[in-house]
Structure 1
Amino acid sequence: MFKKCCSSRSEKNYKIHHSPRPIKLSEEMDTVIKKLLWYTPNIDSYQSDKNELISNKLYDEFSFTYVMNQMGMDESRDVKWIGSKDVISNDEWRFFEENICSNCQKIIVAKYTTFSKINALLTAIRNCIAHGHFAIVEDYIIGFNRKLLTKDPEGLKKSVIKIKPKLLLAALEKLTSPMGKELLLAYAFKNVGYKVTEPKNRSRDFDLCLEKNGKKYVVEIKSYKGQTYLHPEHVMRFLKRAEEKVPDYEKILLIDTSRVTKSVRQLESKIKGFRIVDINDVKLLLGEEPVDILAKVNN
């Protein structure tokens, strides 16, 4: 359940109006603000690069959980999502004005169906900075975002962000690296005791190889958009490659199971050492009480 503050509140006063103007920032924080304004992935900026781990709904839940973990945050406790048509209450808005606690990070942000969770967060931060409605308090940024309307000069209260931005950028840098997908999966499975292995015969054809309690697994992610689905021929190509490279490994396909056809399910039931696991369950690896989703399937 979302909590506006932690149990060890340490108040720091601040003023949202910048003085002097322009705002004085350390060299490090100046770089941080520029990155958040122009260079973070998938925001409305010409300089922003696209990244599927941040934009694709397939990775949404466990990418966001990974970022929260890297920042030392917990989504259920530190993040409050409001609907796209909802607004932040005056009480919650005022709670973060003029002073903040420097012992916890908090996020209240509107969630849109067209955005992933990370996109919603990065866009909200970018808007806070672009509209100048932010302040720097020690290593925190505190920012507010209103959706301005001609009918309402006050605007609609859509987000309050109080985070340590350097931690966010460090997490994003890992996630958007060339090995981001493998890093994300490895981090999640290591959380429940798996060892990431590099077998001698392994090719780069697979996203991950794992080992735990003497059992070995080769894992591949399948991502489909629009009206595309996983068909038996796709499965057989994966199984053929895996048999050639890592024949003694259990084969795991991670996929949104709504994309799996009935014929693939029938094929799965006939092939020993092969399983399809719902990619939406990967977030369970990073939960407050982590669940081993591969062991879970075996039970």
Structure 2
Amino acid sequence: MPVNLKKFGFEFETCEEKVAYSIKHEDKPLKLSEDMTKTLEYLLWYVPNINSAQSQENELTSSLNFENFVFGIIKNYMNLANKDVAFLNYIDPDIVKFYDKRICPHSQKIILTKSEGESKTDCLLRHIRNSLAHGNFNLVEDMLVGFDYKFGPGGQEICTGIFKIFPKNLLSGLSSLDEEVTAEGLAQIALQRTGYRLERFNNEDRDTSFDFYVKKGSKRYALEIKKYKDTEVLSEREVQKLLDKFSGLYESIIPVLFVNTSFLKKETKEKLKKERVIILDIKNILKMLEGRDILGEIESY
């Protein structure tokens, strides 16, 4: 039995029906179904935030603030429990031996080393991509088994990642990211978890509209979600556009701005507050995802 990882919440599987396998491909190329070929191609080239010209960026997938929330979505789609996943600083050779040559084809496990500043989801996708790109993988029934290695001092190979997963479940999770792991999606989930109802904003009497009409009891809010790239501080022009949009437009509806507050100068925040605009930032959304009604708290303060 390999080293004890219970302090990380990880449990090694017990299995009397382990299946022998080899990382070496006897058939070259591997004989794959059409579905599995597409799955591996997607994991190799098209998942977000990997070193591929075909990969698209997903800012929230890479966010350390939201990493547990995002990775939680992935785990749910993959049917993984906390005991099935470990992020370590170092993978002991005994762990590698435990999964080398014979595995349980029913129990999924992920053991990875994570770089500083890297989110859990980005870490998983990076190790899978490296394993596929370097050929350190094989299929055992419908399970994808892979190892990621790097060269250490003296040219010695060091294992930095081990996974055995059902890749179709991972793809289902990844396809959900575009729908769920967006600023818009997170704001929706956070508000719904704290008892708010959301509708698409539609005000035909105005030239301008917000992203969502938000309701809870007698309270009414207009939610605007702003995402800015390559911006350190909002320009005066953009600030004025926000002020013009919010200023005195709605008597019975309170404007709410969801924005990364690092983009806002102190003076900008004060101007928005004078217009009765509630500002929600990432920290607020994280608290709301945990069930705390920050929007109500801010208004009653």
Return the offset for 1:127: 0.4
Mapped pair 1:118 → 2:121? yes
Q: What amino acid maps onto 1:31 in structure 2? A: K
- Aligned to 2:96, the other structure's residue is in SS state helix
Aligned to 1:196: 198
Q: Separation in 2 of the partners of 1:263 and 1:10?
A: 66
Aligned to 2:130: 127
The number of equivalent residue pairs is 290
Return the offset for 1:120: 2.5
- Aligned to 1:168, the other structure's residue is in SS state helix
Deviation track 1:228-280 (CA, whole Å, cap 9, x = no partner) reads 135776455335435687664332223334444322343355443x2222314
Contact 1:108 1:160 in 2 (8 A): yes
Tell me: CA distance 1:150–1:236, structure 2 relative to 1, closer, same or farther (3 Å).
same
Aligned to 1:237: 241
Aligned to 1:44: 51
Tell me: CA distance 1:116–1:178, structure 2 relative to 1, closer, same or farther (3 Å).
closer
Aligned to 2:19: 13
Contact 1:10 1:103 in 2 (8 A): no
- Aligned to 2:175, the other structure's residue is in SS state helix
Aligned to 2:87: 81
Return the offset for 1:33: 0.7
Return the offset for 1:64: 3.8
Q: What amino acid maps onto 2:278 in structure 1? A: R
**Residues 81-230 of structure 1: pairs in structure 2 closer than 5 A:** 81-82=87-88, 86-97=89-100, 98-100=102-104, 102-113=106-117, 115-149=118-152, 151-153=154-156, 155-176=157-178, 180-201=182-203, 206-224=210-228, 228-230=232-234
Q: Separation in 1 of the partners of 2:16 and 2:295?
A: 42
Mapped pair 1:31 → 2:57? no
Q: Which runs of 5+ in 2 are unaligned?
A: 1-6
Q: What amino acid maps onto 2:242 in structure 1? A: F
Deviation track 1:13-63 (CA, whole Å, cap 9, x = no partner) reads 342423444333332222111110112223222332334443566765644
Tell me: CA distance 1:124–1:266, structure 2 relative to 1, closer, same or farther (3 Å).
same
Q: Separation in 2 of the partners of 1:173 and 1:50?
A: 14
Q: Separation in 1 of the partners of 2:138 and 2:105?
A: 14
**Larger deviation, residues 89-98 vs 58-67:** 58-67
Aligned to 1:275: 278
Aligned to 1:256: 260
Q: Separation in 1 of the partners of 2:140 and 2:60?
A: 30
Tell me: CA distance 1:72–1:255, structure 2 relative to 1, closer, same or farther (3 Å).
farther
Q: Separation in 1 of the partners of 2:218 and 2:230?
A: 39
Q: Separation in 2 of the partners of 1:246 and 1:162?
A: 54
Aligned to 1:3: 9
Contact 1:219 1:253 in 2 (8 A): yes
Q: Separation in 1 of the partners of 2:115 and 2:9?
A: 18
- Aligned to 2:155, the other structure's residue is in SS state coil
Tell me: CA distance 1:103–1:87, structure 2 relative to 1, closer, same or farther (3 Å).
closer
Return the offset for 1:7: 8.4
* Larger Cα-atom Rg: 2
Contact 1:107 1:161 in 2 (8 A): yes
Tell me: CA distance 1:293–1:158, structure 2 relative to 1, closer, same or farther (3 Å).
farther
- Taking only aligned residues, the RMSD between alpha carbons, in angstroms, comes to 3.9
Q: Separation in 2 of the partners of 1:8 and 1:244?
A: 65
Contact 1:12 1:137 in 2 (8 A): no
Aligned to 1:294: 295
Return the offset for 1:69: 4.0
- Aligned to 1:44, the other structure's residue is in SS state coil
Tell me: CA distance 1:238–1:101, structure 2 relative to 1, closer, same or farther (3 Å).
farther
TM-score by length of 2: 0.74
Contact 2:184 2:225 in 1 (8 A): no
Tell me: CA distance 1:298–1:178, structure 2 relative to 1, closer, same or farther (3 Å).
closer
